[in-house]
Structure 1
């Protein structure tokens, strides 16, 4: 089956990033690879095997369907942790397959205990605490009920972890809020331990917290965006650079997104290009028609804004990005031919198109653009 674009995933770039992350967290802290959102658009099936080759043995996902895909993809045993959606009907499958999961509602805790007793197998729970994110997690009053239930169910369930999530560690404007969350988490953890319960793992840090707040490393860090070669925000990168004498980005991007020239088109001066009247040819123009549009994750907001690389040169997107194609100005390029390589994201020659440049032009976050890349774009691992 042929496709109009494809994605390359660099194994050597991942090796570089994992080595950097391990250096940052130290040998005594476990690194959990976050592969939710189809491994941040990189593809669970393509990313997980090379992550395991890099020594990763712990993966975190959002939901049971991602956990199922991950389980089918593993090349060797590894821990799988579901951080979010897990229907009660899916608990039996998760417990039977040794999949760990967050608990942030009493209902899930009690149902897990019932199913564990039925299976004769302990459920491994991570108790999520509400510390100020106000999304999911036990606040202090509900935590008391959860701890009482855990005590009653200790023959059926195992308190594998206690965790929380910071509300914006990537931005300095959230600094006081993050510190307050950290303090509250420590207080809640102390309360849990004085209640007689002792979690095996304590974890709170995402990529941004790992870099900016080293005190949040604890037993494990949950790393998403940085393992793929991207910084959570410019502020996080600036903070890192300010702490080091070598002012060089230690991360390498894994992803390159490519297509080919589908057709060459001549347009006379004064003609409108594509739908509507958003672009009128200021001169006689040559266009390359590229078979990628918003249906393939190339935002319509990049109409008359975006660039691609052809023959190592930046070429501007002109006219409105269509569902399946875009038009690119190649008037100044020499000898562009049908089937020439087009780089939508990544490097070609000495030029590069970054995810950050997409974000600046379309108001999308790194995370948003990457996770919106359709799963049916083929992904290939390269060295």
Structure 2
């Protein structure tokens, strides 16, 4: 039985406290300092913090009232999204929750303890990310999927598995085994057409001999799809899958045994193609409530209809109004004077900018939510602040909540909307959210379990 949400949230606090006491850890990535005592429900020191958050959120604002911006990670949404994949994956397929890149911007300290309690594995990109999971007190099997430099091989335990795609890393892993006495389990990364990481299939026999000579155990084999998200035609992905099948068969012959871990599925593959499940699936962007692409979602609709999978975004980004400016008709706003008022305008200045991850490309294009209504971003987004037109929200006051990403009342701003306006993808927009922004866990995953 999975731990209760309250137990997980308590564990998150214990993890952060224990990690702060360890000298190797850098400063906590948000939410690490105990919140200041509020002056009353929905209030903050120095003024009133008002807003139209999701039901149940307003009462929690008292613990965030001393922050000018913050992120909320909804563990109920995470639980729902993971349950979606538990339902659609082939029975027996293990689930690896991908928490690389600061858990896709959501916060490693906030997401990883919850993911560890609800998934079978955790997957990261770097050795330091793996060490951080251990400093958080998490004992789940960890898969390092990225390149490791020689000097990064230290303080890794025997339940940290490693993608290997070069002979050099094999030799370094052998050195680590001899110096530490720890043999890190190896998953061979096979290039089937992405031309990024991976051995050629013809190298499998040589790699097996090298690994044996270094005293290393090959326990897995993996590949990665090049074009499973960006198209409605999946012929190339099917060719990759066939080539990977040949590689798996070749490795089995070399090992004279079955391969414990065979994996190829990312979020898109796990949503669309059961033949990619094998016995381990790596779920990244969709664990956080996002479709990998429009094409992935359309393919699902074409195959299954509109009913079925409903992913729920787990992240909200909130700030407060810091100041107002009154702009006369004809006056301009911000650097470069890129916006000119066509009427007497009331601007709200927000303490968020591109240094926080709100892309400069959103200048004069995006919208935020104030009082449950969308209002436009005007002028250039600055390094640490931005301006929005609240002329049509006359009741707005200093200290009021503003939603940059997420819901407020019946309105919503999505990562997909902001990514498209800034010329990128939802992955990048989320991953570029500054680690310095305080992050808070909200929601109740027990609601999902009770359904």
Secondary structure in 2 aligned to 1:136? coil
Q: Does 1:65 align with 2:128?
A: yes
Q: Does 1:185 align with 2:244?
A: yes
Which of 198, 201, 222 matches 1:137? 198
Contact 1:261–1:288 (CA under 8 A) maintained in structure 2: yes
User: Please, which moves more after superposition, 141-150 or 29-38?
Assistant: 141-150
Aligned pair in 2 of structure 1 residues 109, 174: CA closer, same or farther (>3 Å)? farther
Secondary structure in 2 aligned to 1:86? coil
Contact 2:232–2:295 (CA under 8 A) maintained in structure 1: no
1:135-174 C-alpha deviation (Å, 9 max, x unpaired):
1111034333212223434xx2221210111112112266
Contact 2:158–2:185 (CA under 8 A) maintained in structure 1: no
Contact 1:159–1:200 (CA under 8 A) maintained in structure 2: no
Which of 10, 23, 36 matches 2:74? 10
Secondary structure in 2 aligned to 1:126? strand
Which of 146, 163, 188 matches 1:84? 146
Return 5+ residue gaps in structure 1 as ranges.
none
The equivalent of 1:49 in structure 2 is: 113
The equivalent of 2:221 in structure 1 is: 162
Contact 1:355–1:366 (CA under 8 A) maintained in structure 2: yes
The equivalent of 2:164 in structure 1 is: 103
Q: Does 1:242 align with 2:302?
A: yes
Give the Cα separation in 2 of the matches to 1:172 and 1:202: 25
Give the Cα separation in 2 of the matches to 1:131 and 1:249: 29
User: Please, which moves more after superposition, 195-204 or 243-252?
Assistant: 243-252
Please report how far the alpha carbon of residue 92 of structure 1 lies from its aligned counterpart in structure 2 after TM superposition: 4.1
Which of 206, 209, 221 matches 1:148? 209
Contact 2:116–2:122 (CA under 8 A) maintained in structure 1: no
Give the Cα separation in 1 of the matches to 2:129 and 2:178: 26
Return 5+ residue gaps in structure 2 as ranges.
1-32, 34-65, 444-451
The equivalent of 1:318 in structure 2 is: 378
5 Å-filtered alignment, 1:322-337, equals 322-337=382-397
Aligned pair in 2 of structure 1 residues 330, 49: CA closer, same or farther (>3 Å)? same
Give the Cα separation in 2 of the matches to 1:144 and 1:229: 40
Aligned pair in 2 of structure 1 residues 319, 121: CA closer, same or farther (>3 Å)? closer
Contact 2:325–2:347 (CA under 8 A) maintained in structure 1: yes
Secondary structure in 1 aligned to 2:112? helix
Which of 88, 93, 98 matches 1:29? 93
1:108-149 C-alpha deviation (Å, 9 max, x unpaired):
113323432443333200111111111111103433321222
- CA RMSD after TM alignment: 1.7
* TM superposition score normalised by structure 2: 0.80
Aligned pair in 2 of structure 1 residues 33, 197: CA closer, same or farther (>3 Å)? farther
Give the Cα separation in 2 of the matches to 1:287 and 1:248: 42
Please report how far the alpha carbon of residue 90 of structure 1 lies from its aligned counterpart in structure 2 after TM superposition: 2.8
Give the Cα separation in 2 of the matches to 1:248 and 1:194: 40
The equivalent of 2:433 in structure 1 is: 373
The equivalent of 2:6 in structure 1 is: none
The equivalent of 2:355 in structure 1 is: 295
The equivalent of 2:52 in structure 1 is: none
Please report how far the alpha carbon of residue 245 of structure 1 lies from its aligned counterpart in structure 2 after TM superposition: 4.6
Give the Cα separation in 2 of the matches to 1:277 and 1:182: 53
The equivalent of 1:308 in structure 2 is: 368
User: Please, which moves more after superposition, 115-124 or 30-39?
Assistant: 115-124
1:58-90 C-alpha deviation (Å, 9 max, x unpaired):
111001121121221244x20011001222233
Aligned pair in 2 of structure 1 residues 356, 371: CA closer, same or farther (>3 Å)? same
Aligned pair in 2 of structure 1 residues 22, 41: CA closer, same or farther (>3 Å)? same
Give the Cα separation in 2 of the matches to 1:197 and 1:107: 25
Secondary structure in 1 aligned to 2:270? helix
Give the Cα separation in 1 of the matches to 2:175 and 2:434: 38
1:329-371 C-alpha deviation (Å, 9 max, x unpaired):
1111131100000000000000000011102211120000000
Tell me how many residue pairs correspond in the alignment: 378
User: Please, which moves more after superposition, 80-89 or 169-178?
Assistant: 169-178
Secondary structure in 1 aligned to 2:155? helix
Contact 1:166–1:178 (CA under 8 A) maintained in structure 2: yes
The equivalent of 1:269 in structure 2 is: 329
